[in-house]
């Protein structure tokens, strides 16, 4: 049985994975923001075409889908990898650090792309299945709104053009031992909504507050009221998060401003809790504003829904991992997290599973958290991720 970090879990030649390490570093050196992944999608499309996949481009703007049909099996599997980078100035000193000022692969999407490409080549050379495999290379996961890459691909007809019986995606996990595979049935990641609130009053002199309608005092009261919603309206055994991250009002200490602005993030693991928070936030804003004689404008952007893994597909996926790498390298009860992911849109349409692969245990060089200027994907997990995708595809399409 292969161990998780065998350099070549399937006995491939060293040059096979060396090729993909070099490719990962090339993509890392040339990061592209969401919906701008032109060079990256060119590379993906060229590789898939070279290996015999039928390639479709343009879904979601810069998305790429490679389809491989083998045998006469009727099942269809979708595997997804994200391709975009982040607007962060890289501070690491690796030879392959970003050449693009202010942009870097700080979330490992370069690694996700390459793990799926390595699996694509393996499966093209030796499919070992009977059915249809759709490899989905998605743009703009990091956009953070309902118009992100997954939703755009779906709106452009992804699942009408490429029907899938199930879809799977993998994300690297810093602080987790390299190559360990983590699964969770049900809610895995939270919804992610953005709320902007503007409280409008009437400005005045700081020495004569009675002549003004002060939005700053109203904003202060509103912040405290918002932070009671989770503790008093949400079941303590369920998860909700409301965070006021930005407060803007005024330019001078002796001037009461006309308005105050709050920028808020809202997260929930349960769609019902998400809806409850939406309703309560809007109600609390309206009531608080009214009590201070203010007008309120609320812009509530419902972004990513929760990532909810279907039970059957998650159990299947975790069993594949245990069979290939051993049960000691698999966690089937991974704690839910309050981060967000737009793969949730795909899981709203199709059953499937979003899983994690360890990038490096705490205290190791690759434990650096994502969205950090010092982060880098751990090339040592490429063989593990690729082998996992190969075995998942073969077993799913053999059912």
Which residue ranges are tagged as binding site?
Answer: 107, 109, 142, 171, 371
Task: Judge contact between 104 and 32, C-beta under 8 A.
Answer: no
For the CA atoms of 183, 187, 188, 192, the dihedral, rounded to the nearest 10 degrees, stands at: 170
CA–CA gap between residue 205 and residue 243 (Å, rounded):
31
- DSSP annotation of 398: T
Q: In the chain, where does DSSP find H-type helix? A: 14-29, 38-50, 109-125, 149-155, 158-161, 215-226, 229-233, 271-291, 311-325, 343-349, 382-396
Tokens 């690491």 identify what position?
92
Helix axes 38-50, 109-125, angle to 10 degrees: 10
Question: What angle, rounded to 10 degrees, do the helices at 382-396 and 14-29 form?
Answer: 110
Non-local (6+) Cβ contacts of 308 within 8 A are 186, 187, 188, 271, 344, 347
**β-bridge pairing 76-82 and 192-200:** unpaired
Q: Distance between CA 179 and CA 168 in Å, rounded? A: 17
223-232 — which CB contacts under 8 Å span 24+ positions?
Answer: 223/247, 223/262, 225/284, 225/288, 226/264, 226/281, 226/284, 226/285, 229/277, 229/280, 229/281, 229/284, 230/277
Question: Is 142 within 8 Å of 34 (Cβ atoms)?
Answer: yes
Q: What are phi and psi of 10, to 5 degrees?
A: -105, 10
Which residues contribute to the annotated binding site for Mn(2+)?
107, 109, 142, 171, 371
Number of C-beta neighbours around residue 341 at 10 A: 24
Q: What is the DSSP string of 232-287?
A: HHS-TTS-EEEEEEEEE--SSTTEE-SEEEEEEEEEESSHHHHHHHHHHHHHHHHH
Residues in the chain: 399
d(CA 284, CA 363): 44
């Amino acid at each position: 049985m292969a161990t998780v970090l065998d350099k070549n879990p399937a006995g491939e030649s060293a040059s096979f994975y060396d090729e993909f390490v070099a490719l990962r570093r090339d993509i890392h050196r040339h990061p592209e923001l969401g919906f701008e992944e032109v060079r990256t999608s060119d590379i993906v499309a060229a590789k898939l075409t070279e290996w015999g996949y039928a390639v479709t481009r343009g879904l979601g703007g810069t998305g790429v889908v490679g389809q491989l049909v083998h045998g006469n099996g009727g099942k269809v599997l979708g595997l997804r990898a994200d391709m975009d980078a982040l607007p962060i100035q890289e501070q690491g000193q690796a030879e392959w650090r970003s050449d693009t000022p202010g942009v870097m692969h700080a979330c490992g999407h370069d690694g996700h792309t390459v793990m799926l490409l390595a699996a694509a080549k393996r499966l093209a050379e030796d499919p070992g299945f009977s059915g249809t495999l759709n490899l989905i290379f998605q743009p703009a996961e990091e956009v953070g709104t309902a118009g992100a890459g997954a939703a755009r691909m779906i709106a452009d007809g992804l699942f009408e053009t490429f029907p899938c019986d199930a879809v799977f995606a993998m994300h690297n996990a810093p602080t987790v031992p390299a190559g360990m595979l983590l699964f969770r049935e049900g809610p895995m990641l939270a919804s992610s909504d953005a709320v902007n609130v503007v409280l409008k009053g009437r400005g005045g002199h700081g020495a004569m507050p009675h002549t003004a309608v002060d939005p700053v005092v109203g904003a202060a009261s509103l912040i405290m009221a918002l932070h009671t919603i989770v503790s008093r309206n949400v079941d303590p055994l369920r998860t909700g998060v409301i965070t006021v991250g930005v407060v803007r009002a005024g330019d001078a200490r002796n001037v009461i401003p006309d308005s105050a602005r709050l920028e808020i993030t809202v997260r929930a693991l349960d769609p019902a809790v998400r809806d409850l928070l939406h309703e309560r936030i809007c109600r609390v804003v309206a009531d608080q504003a009214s009590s201070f004689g203010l007008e309120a404008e609320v812009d509530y952007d419902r972004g990513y829904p929760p990532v909810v893994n279907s039970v059957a597909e998650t159990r299947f996926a975790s069993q594949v991992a245990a069979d290939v790498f051993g049960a000691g390298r698999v966690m089937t009860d991974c704690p839910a997290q309050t981060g967000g992911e737009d793969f949730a849109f795909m899981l709203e349409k199709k059953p499937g599973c979003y899983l994690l692969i360890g990038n490096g245990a705490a205290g190791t060089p690759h434990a650096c958290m994502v969205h950090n200027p010092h982060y880098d994907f751990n090339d040592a997990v490429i063989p593990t991720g690729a082998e996992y995708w190969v075995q998942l595809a073969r077993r799913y399409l053999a059912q």
